[in-house]
Amino acid sequence: MSTPNLPGLPEEPVVRRGMFGAPDSGDTSGYGGLVIRRAPKVSSPRPYGGYFDEVADALERALGDDLSDAVERVVVDRGELTIHVKRERIVEVLRHLRDDPALRFELSLGVSGVHYPHDTGAELHAVYHLCSITHNRRVRIEVSCPDADPHIPSTVEVYPTHDWHEREAYDFFGIVFDGHPALTRIQMPDDWEGHPQRKDYPLGGIPVEYRGAKVPSPEHRRSYS
């Protein structure tokens, strides 16, 4: 279960203008003007090593001929296994991972949202961290969706504890989990505008009052350049 490596680098590099959003008052982060290149999306070739091949083989048997329609790529990095799954197949794949006797990932450690603004067409990611108590194994499942269509099927029916985790990913990143029983904000007020953990969300835009003193937002603070 693997896909070929994707060679090459993107033509346009990324230029970081400052971590704290100070475009007109000086750089306060140390990142101003830094030019970096985004790494290409890679996949790992077989063998993966350790129990990773056993997990891949079991999932391949469970999916059968539908494997290529469900799994986009597999990445092994820093001793961790990540399986990238197409969003329309996420519920089916998670159910196989939970119920298949050779897999038995019966415990989910949660759902995390990630925002990659430069990953065109796949800006938003949902990451599922699974653990097999039966086999003492871990696997990461990752799903992506475009910012223009931020919809991923809810997986609450497979792992009921995803209820609050999916609400948090919606609250902070704007990922809409279709079929969720009650997809409402969980930490921010219901009338809050935007999603605060996205990388394009302005930081420090709201002045903070502390014992009678007001702390200005970062773009209005002193510049050390």
Digit-by-digit pLDDT tens for the chain (225 residues) are 654 433 444 456 666 555 554 555 555 555 566 666 666 678 899 999 999 999 999 999 999 988 889 999 999 999 999 999 999 999 999 999 999 999 999 999 999 999 998 888 999 999 999 999 999 999 999 999 999 999 999 999 999 999 999 999 999 999 999 999 999 999 888 888 889 999 988 766 555 555 666 666 666 655 544
Measured between its terminal Cα atoms, the distance across the chain in Å is 51
Among all chains, which residue has been given the structure tokens 């223009």? 148
* Three-state SS annotation for 29-83: CCCCCEEECCCCCCCCCCCCCCCHHHHHHHHHHHHHHHHHHHEEEEEEECCEEEE
Query: What's the fold here for domain 41-220?
Result: Beta Polymerase; domain 2 (3.30.460)
Find residue 176's DSSP bridge partners: 151
- 216 prior amide bond cis, ω within 30: no
Residue 136 has a pLDDT of 97
Q: Which two tokens stand for residue 104?
A: 């038995």
Residue 5 has a pLDDT of 39
Residue 7 has a pLDDT of 42
Integer Cα distance of 10 and 8 in angstroms:
7
Residue 28 has a pLDDT of 54
Within 10 A of 71 (CB to CB), how many other CB atoms are there? 23
